[in-house]
Amino acid sequence: MSTSSTTAPNSTLTPATNPSKKVVRVAAGLIIKEDSFLIAQRSGKRHLAGYWELPGGKIEAHETPAQTCQREISEELHCQVAVDSYFLTCTYEYEDFTLSMDVYLCHLLPGEHLECAEHSALKFITVDEIDSFNFAPADIQFLPNIKALMQSLKRKNFSF
């Protein structure tokens, strides 16, 4: 397995990849609420069960990554979000496949409430709590980018 070092927000994190491995393209949402963001714990039936991640899923042939982000959040959390902007792309090489993940900044639409439909748990956390959670390997590499973004938003007194 390989990872890359992180860079500034709105960047691409791409380690060397093995061209013989299947590439799985996914989109995920960084759902921001005030000074926190949403993480989801993978359920016991899935690959990497128990690990925490940003909600999202596989990009289907007819979808843009942003559309995938909205659809997957709707399916997994039974809520609607606004996809505000592209944040970053990361690539992570697992043992049997390469994951390419596009991450989008999102916020819950007014009146929307989360429902834990496909995960073991959901939690809004602050950057100070990140180290208390066991994140999926692909997500670990962009946590510094999330920290930098959230700290920047806090300095600007900005929240969703």
Residue 158: inside a domain, yes or no? no
Whether 14 shows a pLDDT value over 70: the answer reads: no
Residue 159: inside a domain, yes or no? no
Cβ neighbours, 10 Å, residue 75? 12
> pLDDT value at position 25?
97
Domain range spanning residue 99?
A: 12-152
Cα 41 to Cα 7, 71, 86, 94, 123: the distances in Å are 25, 18, 23, 19, 9
Give tens-digit pLDDT for 30-89: 999 999 999 999 998 778 989 999 999 999 999 999 999 999 999 999 999 999 999 999
Residue 142: inside a domain, yes or no? yes
> pLDDT value at position 18?
65
> pLDDT value at position 12?
55
> pLDDT value at position 27?
98
Longest dimension (CA), the chain: 46
Tally of domains within the chain: 1
Who contacts 101 (Cβ-Cβ below 8 Å, separation ≥6)? 25, 26, 27, 28, 56, 89, 90, 91, 92, 138
Residue 3: inside a domain, yes or no? no
Give tens-digit pLDDT for 76-132: 999 999 999 999 999 999 999 999 999 999 999 999 999 988 899 999 999 999 999
